[in-house]
Amino acid sequence: MRFPIQRNPLLALLIIALCPIPFILFFNEKADVGSIIIGIIILPIILMLLWALFHSYHEITNTRLVAVFGFVKIMIPLHEITNIRYTYNLLSAPAWTFKRLEITYSNYDIALISLPKDPDLFIEKVQEKCPLLQDHSI
C-alpha cells in the first residue's frame, strides 16, 4: 500500500520559486561566465529538489517499509521494526515537513522518515505487519 507524504506548503513554494533563478542567470543582459557557472551549478540542485517534491512517498509491502524521498530510498524490513514515534529532529533526514516519524528497527538502528498524509492509517498498517512492534509513541 502506498502512502503520499505531507508537504509543508512554504517549503514547496520555496522550491518552486527557485526554478527561474538559473534561467535568469543564463539569459540576463549582463550574463558573464561567473553567472553562467553559478546557473549550471544551481540547475541540477533545483531539479533534484523538484524531483523529490513530486516523487516522495512511503510504501508498505509484504516484507518491508520503503520510504522514498526523490532519489533517496530507505528499505526497512517489517519484521525488524520495534518502535515508531514522532520526532522534530530537523538535522537527520530529508523531509518536506518538520514533524517526522522515527522508526527503530534491528535492535538500535533508527530511520527518520517524512510524515504520511494519513499517519493513523499508516501506523495501523505497519502494526498489522510488524510482529515485534512493542509500543508506538504516537
- The residue ranges of every structural domain in the chain are 1-138
Q: pLDDT band for position 66 (50/70/90)?
A: very high
Architecture of domain 1-138: Roll (2.30)
Beta strands in the chain (DSSP E): 2-4, 56-60, 64-69, 72-77, 81-87, 100-105, 109-114, 135-137
Whole-angstrom distance, CA of residue 125 vs CA of residue 127: 5
62 half-sphere exposure, CB direction, 13 A CA radius: 0
Q: Can you give the pLDDT at residue 137?
A: 53
Could you tell me what percent of the chain has a pLDDT over 70? 93
Q: pLDDT band for position 106 (50/70/90)?
A: confident
pLDDT in tens, 17-35: 999 988 888 888 787 888 8
**Averaged pLDDT of the chain:** 86
Once rounded to an integer, what is the mean pLDDT over residues 112-122? 90
